[in-house]
Amino acid sequence: MTGSPADPHAQARAAREQPLLLHSMAVFRELFETIFRCREIGTVIEVGVESGQVSSIYADLGATVHCVEPDPGEELRAVLAGDPRLHLVEGSSPAVLGELPVGDLYVLDGDHNYAVVRAELAWIMEHAPGAVVVLNDLLWPCGRRDFYYQPSPLPPGDRHPDTADGPTVWHDDVTPAGFVGDGAFTFAAHAGGERNGVLTAVEDALDEAGGGWRLEIVPAVFGFGVLARTDAPGTADIFDALRPLTSSGLLAAMENNRIALYTRVLQLQYELTARRDEADRLAETVGAQQREITRLKSELDGATADNAALRQDVERLRAAPPAPVRDQELGEAVSQLGRALSARIRGRSGPLR
């Protein structure tokens, strides 16, 4: 148990220092160790590699690894190029499976939808029936709802109507505040029904096989499934060794708890972004209003100065009234004063707004 009396903060430190492995099979290292202990595994076919952070685990356990990834990035190329035990296979499963050596272990973590997983299992069950098959995402959210990497290569007939919104555990509808792909992937708009989801694909493959295969699920991190023929070497040992995890109600409860908290965090992040956008909009409005107030103030200052000057003129005239003049001279003087005043007003005020 971490957090000994000598170091009361050890567990907290380990928690914050551990990289977030929310979606990586690296968290299942101990389960792979168990599988490798119970079954001789020389060749691993890893379907869906992404960053390559898991591939070396299989190699460290003694296997040659064929890493199938349709669109490998520079980081992945560099990771795989630096390790002669790892072989990059640039292509999509299931199409490339037939071009590779037959595997002792298939790790299916690529496109998490019925059509792809069903086709992968059909190929493996026919051509590599002695292999152990590990599948991720057998539980929420992909167990009963298809997930499609984008752009999806699947023909429309193999896809359910999909959406950029994502599932949450807080209600049954998809929502922009749910588990969304931001363009990288979409989900089927509806969960359940025929030919929908990864677990449904496995169940249908097992039905079609008509017996001889066994599936167990470790209910953690979206569901870790192990599938093997009951008569293959090591199968009974693998399932015996995994039983404390595959039968654990505690683990299932913790997974439910984890996805509840995880989807709550996603929702809070969505709301935070919406509030930040709203705050930015308000800040822009306040800025524009402040600029308008400054402009109006300077206009007011100008008008106040004009007013003061006019008052002075009036007071001067009152204090020293001009000598009486003839009507014509008076008329001219008045219009001159009028012209002077209008010129002053025009000069100060500028154009009317």
Shortest reach from residue 232's CB to ligand SAM, in Å: 23
Report the residue number, 119 or 174, with the smaller CB distance to ligand SAM: 119
Tell which residue, 168, 170, 169, has the closest CA to residue 178.
Answer: 168
Query: 108 to 167, contacts with ligand SAM by CB under 6 A?
Result: 109-111, 116, 149
Q: Which segment (63-71, 98-106, 243-251, 269-277) binds ligand SAM by CB under 6 A?
A: 63-71
24 binds ligand SAM (CB under 6 A): yes
C-alpha span between 99 and 61 (Å, rounded): 24
C-alpha span between 42 and 132 (Å, rounded): 12
Shortest reach from residue 92's CB to ligand SAM, in Å: 4
> Using the rule CB under 6 A, which residue among 35, 45, 63, 68 binds ligand SAM?
68
| DSSP H helical ranges for 181-326 | 198-209, 235-246, 249-319
Neighbours of 319 (CB within 10 A): 7
Shortest reach from residue 181's CB to ligand SAM, in Å: 11
Shortest reach from residue 120's CB to ligand SAM, in Å: 8
E strand or H helix at 34:
helix 29-38
Contacts of 90 (CB under 8 A, 6+ apart): 69, 70, 72
Shortest reach from residue 16's CB to ligand SAM, in Å: 21
User: What x-and-dash track marks residues 285-324 binding ligand SAM by CB under 6 A?
Assistant: ----------------------------------------
> Using the rule CB under 6 A, which residue among 58, 67, 69, 246 binds ligand SAM?
69
What token pair was written down for 142?
Answer: 């992909």
Sign of the four-CA dihedral 49, 100, 90, 165: negative
Q: Kindly state the number of chain residues that form the binding site for ligand SAM, as judged by CB under 6 A.
A: 21
